[in-house]
Structure 1
Amino acid sequence: MIKNLIRIALGVFMLLAGIGHLTYARETFQAQVPDWIPLSKDFVVLASGVVEIIFGLAMIFFTKQKQYVGLALAVFFVLVFPGNIAQYIDHRDGFGLDTDSKRLMRLFFQPLLIFFALYSTDVLKKFKKS
């Protein structure tokens, strides 16, 4: 039961984040895209918003494929982590992260998101059996 609640909460979190990418927080997300990414910041924000909405829906509704979804979401969290590091290194404000200490604390939450994506979808349990 707790795993399902975490899975659904992650799904809702991803849906809200994706909607934010496409609407009210679009400019804030653009400010967080590292300069070394060779694509338009707006494209990166819009594309990642669509991906996050898909992940959100998949986490909530694709229960038969939840292990694949959980693994893919964990990989996504790993892939966006360099952006979080860049926000810290480049001292970029966003979402109330207006000090280096706040930006540093955020970095410690990314591994938790990865863990929750794997745990709530039984990916860790599958690897234990192997």
Structure 2
Amino acid sequence: MSTESRGSVPRTVGRVILGLFLIFAGVSHLSFARDEFASQVPDWVPLSKDAVVLASGVVEVSLGGALLLLRQRRVTVGWVVAAFFVAVFPGNISQYLTHSNAFGLDSDQARGIRLLFQPLLVLWALWSTGAWRAWRTRSRTRTRTHG
């Protein structure tokens, strides 16, 4: 078994777990946790908080499904999921700055620790889909052919 083959199993498991996590989060946006997610939408967003929560829920379910089903496009999906995690980061920052309690994050310390996990989600998306590896390989190839 090649190193390439062995490395793909953990990535596949990571991608599936991330996909299931996103689907669960999206469903919770659309149903039982709408109010808690609404508390994270920054006041400066020019849309209704509920519309943002519903839209982000649909996006999360879609991205989770894409992680599970679009194996031929997993690198592209990885970049899109990573970008989504970057795009929602202002909501996490807003929750910290406004001291909003949601999801059991009822202290600045807890909200601050959560901020540290968002970059890990970005890295998880890039690693589990092979997006980071594909980018590095492409960068090395360009350097060799143009350098």
What TM bracket, shorter-length normalisation? over 0.9
Q: How high is the sequence identity, in percent, across the aligned residues?
A: 49
* Residue matched to 1:53: 61
Normalised TM-score (structure 1): 0.99
1:10 counterpart (2, 9, 18): 18
Name the TM-score, length of structure 2 as normaliser.
0.87
Per-residue CA shift, 1:44-81, capped at 9, x if unaligned?
00000000000010001110000010000000000000
Q: Match of 1:127?
A: 135
Alignment of 1:1-130 (within 5 A): 1-130=9-138
Give 1 or 2 for the bigger CA radius of gyration: 2
TM-fit CA distance, 1:42: 0.5
Q: CA RMSD in A?
A: 0.5
Structure 1 residue matching 2:135: 3-state secondary structure: helix
Total equivalences in the alignment: 130
In structure 2, how many angstroms separate the alpha carbons of the residues matched to 1:125 and 1:53?
25
